[in-house]
Amino acid sequence: MRYVISVDDATQSGAFELQVETRARITTADAGVAFCTRLLDAQTRFFGARTRCEDTDPGVAVLPEAQEANCLLRYPFCSAQDLTFMNAYVDCYERTNPCLAGQESAAVESILACTMPVVAVSTSGQLSGSCRDALRR
């Protein structure tokens, strides 16, 4: 794999430090179990336990087994093209600092700032209709 990195600030010169983080990407439409596991793990890490962040997502109160079953029921409605948006959404939960007691508002603002552009793009017609409808249920 080859990457090209450019710095777009011509006023900066000298040495730069590059940090690279890799994440498993779900790349096939039949990888539902892997995607749902990744999604639930990321959300569990972000929401933590006994914080007000749990109140912002009604799905958090549902048993993990039910959440996984629900995810697996919706997943087949999504195509391989939809995975770009779905992976970007999960990336937000994986990158954002976990919600901690007393820091809920900052955590919610951070996760919304990351996910809202992904959601906006996915509802603008770039996410297939069957996938969009399934994910809204």
**Is residue 2 in a domain?**
no
Count structural domains, the chain: 1
Give the model's confidence band at 101: pLDDT under 50 very low, under 70 low, under 90 confident, else very high: confident
Nearest-angstrom CA–CA distance, 62 and 46 = 16
**Structural domain containing residue 113:** 32-136
pLDDT(100) > 70: yes
- DSSP secondary structure string for all residues of 60-112: GGS-HHHHHHHHHHHGGG--GGGHHHHHHHHHHHHHSPPP-TT-HHHHHHHHH
Residues 25-78 pLDDT 10s: 555 545 677 888 888 889 888 987 777 787 766 666 667 778 888 888 877 788
**Is residue 15 in a domain?**
no
Q: Are 62 and 43 in contact (CB under 8 A)?
A: no
**Is residue 74 in a domain?**
yes
